[in-house]
Amino acid sequence: MATLLFRLANVSEEETWEVRRLFDQHGFDTYETHAGFWRLGVDAIWLRDDSQLDAAREVLARYQVERQARVQREHADQVERGQAPTLWQRLRQHPIRVLLVGLAVAAILALTLAPFLGLIEAFGNSN
């Protein structure tokens, strides 16, 4: 029976390619599935042979630790050189995205607090 090894949702193409190459290099028998047009499936890499499961998970865990350390080093280097994107740079590059996120946060806050504001008005009018 196939076992889910690695979900591909929200994973960069670079990382996906690295994971594919990693599994190929170690000779794991894997295949990929895609979520499809309606996104009802799962974007993932699956292991066909359950006898390879422990070894595959160990290789993947080691890769993820190494990748995390590498990405953190790269980010620290960017910060040192002053090349890391700041909030203001992101706002200038993607003003509509930042505006939409701000509106979404405001809408969620309004929906969350609306019942409590109604209670405050009810108690304020009764006095």
Q: Is the pLDDT of residue 126 over 80?
A: no
Q: How many residues does the chain have?
A: 127
Mean pLDDT of 66-79: 95
Alpha carbon of residue 89 to chain centroid: 22
Residue 41 burial class via C-beta count within 10 angstroms: exposed 0-12, middle 13-18, buried 19 and up: exposed
Report pLDDT digits (tens) over 87-117: 888 888 999 998 999 999 999 998 998 888 7
Cα gap 124→27, rounded to integer Å:
70
Q: What is the DSSP letter of 86?
A: P
Report pLDDT digits (tens) over 34-52: 999 998 999 999 999 999 9
Query: What does pTM read for this prediction?
Result: 0.67
Q: Is the pLDDT of residue 120 over 80?
A: no
Q: What CATH number was assigned to the domain covering residues 1-84?
A: 3.30.70
